[in-house]
């Protein structure tokens, strides 16, 4: 149930704005890959293209050896790529447990020893039990009867992660899982991701929280203006001059400019 | 929890018993006429809710299916010389024709969402009304007269009443089954976030379309029963915009997306409407109903039942808190306990 996710030469523009230019990256099988970059560098657009919510102007997406470039979201999900959204998209007027029963858990046959998923009307026993197990895993099983719309922001992130896991995806894409979440929940989330990864899942994570990314990821890929400008282990990326420039360059220059005394007077 | 379930079951049995004996107690034909109209609206409001309430696609064009069923009944009963209880056998067929019409309607209208969907369903309504006033098969604007059922005049209404009652019970039972099924869950997921549901493997178009077709099937049968009861089919009444508004108002009144909501809406609003129409020259009731619509949308947008349930839960929590509080507590402790529990 592990798989490598790769993009090759993805290009996408919206009107005159080029969001992605020849973007080629790999999320190696069984690893956690971080995807970072300044705002507007094309991270979410790339997620949308990988998961079928948007079509690229050029380029290809591969899951293992299979090309999934033009697959619809439903198909991408069925093939084993689950994702969460930056602004969580849960079903607010369903209960937490009902949210868990929306994804088709049987699409890839599920893990061994999870019987009765196919005919689970409204959640047959197998489906329902697995849903509760996953909620217990992410730690929100106590809220299973609550309407999802009443959850806090962090709890919603956990719910979204939980129901993506229902289909037992080989690859999980997380769009800013730690954004706006309180620090203790961030650690909890990192532990869960780590644990899922040890079981073999491939992760590709967009995140601005650098401690989170550097602590969790095996590989980090940096996007700037829609192109990969660096890729490698966290320690190398942290000190890469191109990355520092992309992230801090303008800010540094601005700061220097502000510090310099005005000489014109 | 079990006490609540027993209470609910007891209420249901009483309601069914009342429905069963109603025509035996109230033999006055005006009473049974009101009752038949009410039951037909129970059927249609529940069927409408099964599609629109669950999926969030608000249809203002269900009169298309109601009218299709009605005209099929009028034409078939005349052409095939079917009368009496034999004519009742045409009801499922009328439903089937309405369901067939729902397929192209759905394939077109369900491509768009929200207000655009609403506007398209209204457009379909006017197409149907115009077609009925101009086609020869519907008798154009002079309408059609159905064969008069050969029932004894004293109990003339009873066969219609009981048929409507059975259909109403079956429809509500079906709505209940749909709501607790995985299919119903997918419909409600579509209501909350259709794209997300699609991204999680829900086949949104087949799910939406089948719900519309099922809803149209039931609505068509109700239309056929109604037209056979009143005996005439005129385009103005068979395709009536007020019909759509009444159905939507009933579902909103009771509680959109609930099972009991549309039933309650029909049971309260249809008799009220009939009574008001009798008391006044006619249009006042429509003005009052328009005002009621405004009041409900503004103050009870989720409907009477969900709002009442919320108040009940809150009231129970308050009572439980009062019971828990030991006597002789200081005011500061009181404030604390109150603050603590209101946060939870």
C-alpha span between B164 and B225 (Å, rounded) = 8
What is the edge-to-edge ordering of all strands in the sheet holding A58-63?
Answer: A17-27, A5-14, A58-63, A66-67
What is the edge-to-edge ordering of all strands in the sheet holding A32-36?
Answer: A81-83, A171-175, A202-206, A32-36, A219-224, A227-232
CA distances from A236 to A24, A38, A214, A218, A232 (A): 19, 18, 10, 11, 6
Whether the per-residue pLDDT at B97 is higher than 80: the answer is yes
Pairwise pLDDT comparison (A1 vs A179), residue with the higher score: A179
Question: Tens digit of pLDDT for each residue in A46-104?
Answer: 888 999 888 888 888 888 888 888 888 888 888 888 898 888 888 998 989 889 888 87
Mean pLDDT across B131-158: 79
Q: Which 8-state DSSP code applies to residue A181?
A: -
Whether the predicted interface score ipTM is above 0.90: no
CB contact under 8 A, A104 and B196: no
Query: How confident is the model at residue A105, as a pLDDT?
Result: 57
Query: How confident is the model at residue B184, as a pLDDT?
Result: 92
Question: Tens digit of pLDDT for each residue in A103-137?
Answer: 875 544 433 333 333 333 444 567 888 888 888 88
Which of B180, B189, B201 is the best residue to mutate to test the A interface, defined by the most A CB atoms within 10 Å of its own CB?
B201
Whether the per-residue pLDDT at B112 is higher than 90: the answer is no
Whether chain A has a CB inside 8 Å of the CB on B325: the answer is no
φ, ψ of residue A16 in degrees (nearest 5):
-90, 0
Mean pLDDT across B222-235: 89
C-alpha span between B243 and B252 (Å, rounded) = 14
**Top-level class of domain A1-80+169-184+193-242:** alpha beta
| Whether the Cβ atoms of residue B224 and residue B49 lie closer than 8 Å to each other | no
Whether the per-residue pLDDT at B343 is higher than 60: the answer is no
Query: How confident is the model at residue B169, as a pLDDT?
Result: 94
Chain A: residues touching B (Cβ < 8 Å): 51-53, 72-74, 76-78, 83, 85, 89-94, 98, 101-104, 107, 120-123, 163-164, 167
Which residues of chain B have a CB within 8 Å of the CB of A104? Answer: 200-202
Pairwise pLDDT comparison (B37 vs B141), residue with the higher score: B37
Query: How confident is the model at residue A2, as a pLDDT?
Result: 65
Query: How confident is the model at residue A260, as a pLDDT?
Result: 52
| Whether the Cβ atoms of residue A43 and residue A223 lie closer than 8 Å to each other | yes
Query: How confident is the model at residue B173, as a pLDDT?
Result: 94
Mean pLDDT across B107-123: 90
| Closest approach of B180 to chain A, Cα-based (Å) | 6
Pairwise pLDDT comparison (B331 vs B207), residue with the higher score: B207
Whether the per-residue pLDDT at B126 is higher than 80: the answer is yes
Query: How confident is the model at residue A15, as a pLDDT?
Result: 85
Share of chain A above pLDDT 90, in %: 3
pLDDT band at B339 (very low <50, low <70, confident <90, very high): very low
Extents of the domains making up chain A: 1-80+169-184+193-242, 90-168
pLDDT band at B287 (very low <50, low <70, confident <90, very high): confident
C-alpha span between B273 and B285 (Å, rounded) = 6
Task: State which H helix or E strand residue A31 sits in.
Answer: none
Extents of the domains making up chain B: 26-302, 304-344
Pairwise pLDDT comparison (A119 vs A175), residue with the higher score: A175
CB contact under 8 A, B185 and A122: yes
C-alpha span between A81 and A167 (Å, rounded) = 9
* Mean of per-residue pLDDT scores for chain B: 85
Query: How confident is the model at residue B142, as a pLDDT?
Result: 76
CB contact under 8 A, B197 and A102: yes
Query: How confident is the model at residue A125, as a pLDDT?
Result: 62
C-alpha span between A74 and A72 (Å, rounded) = 5
Whether the per-residue pLDDT at B212 is higher than 90: the answer is yes
Query: How confident is the model at residue A148, as a pLDDT?
Result: 87
* Mean of per-residue pLDDT scores for chain A: 80
Question: Tens digit of pLDDT for each residue in B146-181?
Answer: 888 887 777 788 889 999 999 999 999 999 999 988
Query: How confident is the model at residue A166, as a pLDDT?
Result: 86
Whether the per-residue pLDDT at A264 is higher than 60: the answer is no
Query: How confident is the model at residue B175, as a pLDDT?
Result: 94
Query: How confident is the model at residue A108, as a pLDDT?
Result: 41
Contacts of B133 (CB under 8 A, 6+ apart): B140, B141, B235
Query: How confident is the model at residue A107, as a pLDDT?
Result: 43
């Amino acid at each position: 149930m592990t798989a490598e996710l790769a993009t090759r030469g993805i290009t996408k523009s919206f009107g005159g704005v080029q969001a992605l230019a020849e973007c080629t990256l790999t999320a190696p099988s069984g690893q956690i890959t971080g995807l970072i970059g300044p705002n507007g560098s094309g991270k979410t657009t790339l997620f949308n293209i990988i998961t079928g919510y948007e079509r690229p102007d050029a380029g290809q997406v591969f899951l293992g050896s299979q090309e999934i470039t033009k697959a619809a979201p439903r198909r991408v999900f069925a093939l084993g790529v689950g994702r969460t959204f930056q602004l969580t998209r849960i079903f607010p007027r369903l209960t937490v447990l009902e949210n868990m029963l929306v994804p088709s858990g049987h699409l890839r046959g599920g893990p061994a020893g999870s019987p009765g998923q196919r005919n689970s009307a409204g959640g047959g026993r197998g489906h329902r039990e697995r849903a509760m197990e996953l909620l217990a895993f992410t730690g929100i099983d106590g809220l299973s009867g609550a309407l999802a719309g009443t959850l806090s922001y962090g709890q919603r992130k956990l719910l979204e992660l939980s129901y993506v896991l229902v289909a037992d995806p080989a690859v999980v894409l997380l769009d800013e899982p730690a954004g706006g979440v309180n620090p203790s929940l961030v650690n909890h989330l990192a532990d869960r991701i780590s644990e899922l990864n040890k079981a073999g899942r491939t992760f590709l994570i967009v995140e601005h929280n650098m401690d989170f990314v550097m602590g969790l990821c095996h590989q980090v890929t940096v996007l700037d203006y829609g192109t990969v400008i660096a890729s490698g282990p966290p320690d190398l990326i942290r000190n890469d001059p191109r990355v520092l420039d992309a992230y801090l360059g303008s800010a540094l220059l601005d700061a220097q400019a502000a510090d310099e005394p005005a000489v014109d007077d | 929890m079990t006490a609540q379930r027993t209470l609910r079951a007891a209420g249901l049995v009483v309601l069914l018993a009342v429905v069963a004996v109603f025509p035996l107690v109230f033999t006055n034909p005006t009473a049974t006429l009101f009752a038949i109209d009410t039951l037909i609206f129970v059927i249609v409001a529940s069927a409408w809710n099964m599609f629109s309430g669950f999926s969030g696609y608000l249809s203002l064009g269900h009169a298309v299916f109601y009218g299709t069923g009605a005209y099929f009944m009028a034409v078939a009963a005349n052409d095939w010389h079917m009368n009496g209880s034999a004519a009742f056998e045409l009801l499922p067929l009328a439903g089937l024709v309405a369901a067939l019409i729902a397929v192209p309607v759905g394939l077109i209208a369900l491509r768009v969402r929200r207000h655009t969907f609403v506007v398209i369903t209204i457009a379909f309504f006017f197409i149907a009304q115009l077609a009925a006033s101009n086609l020869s098969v519907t008798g154009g604007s002079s309408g059609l007269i159905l064969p008069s059922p050969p029932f004894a005049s004293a109990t003339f209404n009873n066969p219609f009443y009981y048929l409507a009652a059975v259909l109403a019970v079956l429809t509500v039972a079906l709505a209940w089954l749909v709501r607790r099924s995985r299919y119903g869950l997918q419909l409600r997921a579509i209501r909350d976030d259709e794209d997300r549901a699609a991204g999680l493997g829900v086949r949104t178009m087949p799910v939406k379309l089948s719900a519309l077709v099922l809803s149209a099937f039931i609505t068509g049968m109700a239309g056929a029963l109604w037209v056979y009861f009143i005996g005439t089919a005129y385009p103005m009444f068979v395709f009536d915009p007020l019909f759509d508004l009444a159905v939507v108002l009933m579902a909103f009144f009771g509680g959109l997306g609930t099972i009991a909501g549309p039933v309650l809406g029909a049971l309260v609003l249809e008799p009220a409407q009939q009574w008001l129409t009798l008391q006044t020259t006619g249009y006042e009731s429509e003005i009052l109903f328009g005002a009621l619509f405004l009041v409900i949308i503004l103050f009870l947008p989720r409907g009477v039942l969900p709002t009442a349930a919320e108040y009940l839960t809150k009231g129970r929590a308050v009572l439980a808190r009062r019971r828990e509080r030991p006597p002789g507590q200081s005011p500061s402790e009181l404030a604390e306990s109150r603050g603590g529990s209101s946060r939870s």
